[in-house]
Amino acid sequence: MRGAYRRIHNWIVPPYATLLVEDTLPKQLKRRTLYIVEEDGFQEQAAMICPCGCHSVLHMNLLPDERPCWRVTRHDDGTTTLHPSVWRKKDCGSHFWFRNGRVVWC
């Protein structure tokens, strides 16, 4: 049943939007949006509002010289994938994969 629910949910709810921003994040982030911050042609961080509903802003480092580090893949359909999973080890404790613009809970 979980698989059927997931397929229906993915059909009804559109994927997250991905916005590329220069230098800094906007002061107010939109829900269901993944922001990619670029500076001087380099992707520095990804940010989003936590999908659990706690309203915290999640920041994922994209610079390979720093740890932890995530990779971003942009797909032909306009969606984005982050690798590895995002796991908040404090506060809400959310743990999820962000694949093709969708949150897949662990």
Rounded to the nearest angstrom, the gap between the alpha carbon of residue 52 and the centroid of all alpha carbons in its chain is 12
Q: What is the pLDDT of residue 10?
A: 61
Q: What is the rounded average pLDDT of the residues 78-102? A: 95
Predicted pLDDT of residue 7? 62
| Residue 9 pLDDT > 70 | no
* Helix %, strand %, coil % of the chain (to 5): 10, 45, 45
| Cis preceding-peptide flag for 68 (omega within 30 of 0) | yes
Q: What is the pLDDT of residue 12?
A: 76
State the Cα torsion 105-62-90-9 to the nearest 10°. -20
Distance of CA 11 to the CA centre of its chain: 19
Rg of the Cα trace of the chain? 14
Q: Which residue has the tokens 């390979």?
A: 64
Answer whether residue 14 shows pLDDT above 60.
yes
Which pTM does this prediction carry? Answer: 0.88
Residue 24 is predicted with a pLDDT of 92
